[in-house]
Amino acid sequence: MRTILPLIAAGFALALPTAASAELPTGAKAPNFTARGALGGKLFTVNLAQALKRGPVVLYFYPKAFTQGCTLEAHAFAEATADFRAAGATVIGLSNDDFPTLQRFSTEACRDKFAVVSATPEVVKAYDVDLVRDGKSTGYTKRTSYVIGQDGRVKLVHSDMDYKDHVRMTLSAVQAMKAKKKA
């Protein structure tokens, strides 16, 4: 029985549905995009190339507005907004949510501190963040954060469905970029 249990456990683990993890690698050119979103409840358009002219950009993809993890992650990014700005970075959240939901989320969860935009199917594909289960798209994005330098290259990728380390890791990366630039 002792030898069979590990085999059963291994077989069960292999049968569980998993999401493929093939995000853009560090050093890759970040795909440019233009998308509509909301900041402080107001709709507007964001363009990655334009945002990069002001400094590095943190793109963080989240699965669904107003779910527990996504709301807590948005609160954490909102609380750290001043630190991101001090490092010269812009934070942009992306999800597949509709515009009325993005408008509400931008004020209630993001606390009017940063923009959330619609992750179009083209953006989801370009950044390889489609949350796939059993070989099929769930219609949600993976929880993946990218730090993109002003040169348009991916400097950091953190993909983890647990929201807790996304702010810490992306903030640390942009602060390190600022320190390197000063040196």
Q: Is the pLDDT of residue 12 over 60?
A: no
**Buried-state track 19-37, b at ≥16 Cβ within 10 A, e below 16:** eeeebbeeebebeebebeb
Query: Nearest to residue 102, comparing CAs of 137, 66, 72, 126?
Result: 66
- Residue 18, both tokens: 């998993």
Q: What is the DSSP string of 30-48?
A: PPP-EEEEEETTEEEEEEH
Contact 59, 47 (CB under 8 A): no
Any domain includes 88? yes
pTM over 0.85: yes
Please report the pLDDT score of residue 25 as a whole number. Answer: 96
- The DSSP secondary-structure symbol of 166 reads H
pLDDT tens profile 17-74: 333 456 999 999 999 999 999 999 999 999 999 999 999 999 999 999 999 999 999 9
Residue 4 covered by a domain: no
* Total of domains in the chain: 1
| Residue-range definition of the domain harbouring residue 77 | 19-182
Structural domain includes residue 123: yes
Which segment of 3-17, 30-44, 84-98 scores lowest on mean pLDDT?
A: 3-17
CATH number, domain containing residue 27:
3.40.30.10
CA-only gyration radius of the chain, Å: 18
- 140 within domain boundaries: yes
Q: b/e for 88-121, b at 16 or more Cβ within 10 A?
A: ebbbbbbbbbeeebbbbbbeebbeebbbbbbbee
